[in-house]
Structure 1
Amino acid sequence: MKKGASIYEEGDKANKWFYVKSGTVELSKTADDGKELTMSYALSGDFFGELKDDNRPTHALRAEAVEPCTIGAIHQEELQRLFFSDKEFAFELMNWMAYIQRSMQLRMRDLLFYGKFGALSSTLIRMINTYGFQDGPAIRVKMKLSHAQLAKMIGATRETVNRMLNQLRKDGIIEVEKNTMLIYDIEHLKNMSHCEGCPASICRL
């Protein structure tokens, strides 16, 4: 898939599950007023997608390749066959579904309970856990998300994100260098987001 390609749209028939072999996929929801909210990202090694049932035969989200991707797909009928014929597969599948639900609950908690600053702080921590590495006294994060993409993740405008990032810079919490961000005080971000110390496997983009 090329960057910007649509893998499926809201309302498309839901009869496959997808696997990211390489690249990054954005899963988003569009409100009635046209505002978009990024629900999550599927990274290399992740499954994503929705399966039809009697109440919802179509996709509720949109999936878009935000960089060149290689995507695998498996039909729902084949998933069902594997689920009933392979107990180990069924167990791992249930674990994955529980992981997705837990991750989504945490994102909604950050957004609804702790305001825009809390949601941004939580998103920066997720970026650290996904792309960060220690660089002297700071944690360096390769910036794979634009300010507009950060805004879509927390339900804010790009201007609001710019103001909040500028405030964090003034406070000495972060510093931006070209395509990277340096985090000097992750504990401040944890306090802002009321961090519960979830494992990095859950607290990630």
Structure 2
Amino acid sequence: MSDLVAALSRVPLFRELSPEELERLERISSLRSYGRKTAVFHEGTERETVYFVLRGLVKTYKTDEEGHEQIMNILKTGDLFPQTGFFDSAPYPSTAEAIVDTRLLSIPVHTFEQLILTVPAISIKLMRVMSGRIIDLQQRLHDFAGHDAAERVVLYLIKLALDYGRPDNTTEVPSVRIPIPLTNQELASAVGTTRETVNRLVSMLRKEGLIDSDRSGYTIFDKEKLLHRIRKDEH
């Protein structure tokens, strides 16, 4: 098995494909590497390629007229992007940028569209991915509704912990490590607030012993106590 076929077989969308179908994919796929903070593509440019994350992390974001970013999604190993816009000529809907050193699988978009039409297993899984994305966006809107900026930051940290967190055994109490090196500005752009607000909140949560942060990510020391800040205000 070639390195490329091995990489393809690890992508959730392709796991049920036959060896013949994987070999067909191999002929139209390639591997690409991106350094930290390197753009994969820019919002508004011609949509030429579909990507799958093999290793690393990618953020997608939109930029408003004043140049402010709003993070749309953080993509991990196995994720596909962009997740929408197939079978039309729309440009990339957002900018994609590697958060850390990242390895991607790339397939030309028109070739991938033909693959969707001819391999039912892929088309069905793709519909599930897109449906899950819609549900995720709806849940995010629901979670953020009625909460102030500080509460939205807390909710977003909890979501990151659920989606990307892993146990941190280096601390005295059971903790969750979020290995995503987001700056306070990026965290602010993800929830629609200012960096100053995030600076104040992160400083406060550190003093309360609920979280810690460094250049490589965040640590949540007590998720329940962090959630209690939200629940307390809802009652």
Specify the alignment match of 2:93 in structure 1: 60
Q: Contact 2:151–2:230 (CA<8 Å) still a contact in 1?
A: yes
Specify the alignment match of 2:64 in structure 1: 31
Q: Mark the CA change 1:32 to 1:189 in structure 2 (over 3 Å): closer, same or farther.
A: same
TM-score, normalised via structure 2 length: 0.71
The 3-state SS of whatever aligns with 1:113 is coil
Distance 2:158 2:207 in 1: 19
Q: Contact 2:211–2:220 (CA<8 Å) still a contact in 1?
A: yes
Within the candidate set 192, 211, 214, 1:174 is matched to: 211
Amino acid at match of 2:186: Q
Larger RCO (CA under 8 A, 6+ residues apart):
1
Q: Contact 1:21–1:70 (CA<8 Å) still a contact in 2?
A: yes
Q: Mark the CA change 1:192 to 1:29 in structure 2 (over 3 Å): closer, same or farther.
A: farther
Q: Mark the CA change 1:170 to 1:67 in structure 2 (over 3 Å): closer, same or farther.
A: closer
Distance 2:227 2:124 in 1: 33
CA apart distance, 1:179: 5.1
Distance 2:167 2:127 in 1: 31
Specify the alignment match of 2:47 in structure 1: 14
1:189 maps onto 2:232 in alignment: no
- CA RMSD in angstroms comes to 2.5
**Number of corresponding residues:** 193
Distance 2:211 2:86 in 1: 43
1:113 maps onto 2:149 in alignment: no
Deviations 1:96-150 (A, max 9, x none): 1111222222233334432212221122112322133154533141452222221
1:95 maps onto 2:137 in alignment: no
Q: Mark the CA change 1:193 to 1:106 in structure 2 (over 3 Å): closer, same or farther.
A: farther
1:133 maps onto 2:167 in alignment: yes
CA apart distance, 1:173: 2.6
Q: Mark the CA change 1:109 to 1:67 in structure 2 (over 3 Å): closer, same or farther.
A: same
Gaps of 5+ in 1: 195-205
Specify the alignment match of 1:71 in structure 2: 104
Q: Mark the CA change 1:121 to 1:16 in structure 2 (over 3 Å): closer, same or farther.
A: same
Using the aligned pairs only, state the percent identity: 24
CA apart distance, 1:176: 4.6
Deviations 1:44-103 (A, max 9, x none): 21111143555x611121111122211112223322322222222221111111112222
Distance 1:172 1:4 in 2: 30
Specify the alignment match of 1:160 in structure 2: 197
Amino acid at match of 1:138: P
TM-score, normalised via structure 1 length: 0.80
Gaps of 5+ in 2: 1-33
CA apart distance, 1:184: 3.4
Amino acid at match of 2:74: Y
CA apart distance, 1:172: 3.8
If you compute each CA radius of gyration, which structure gives the higher value, 1 or 2? 2
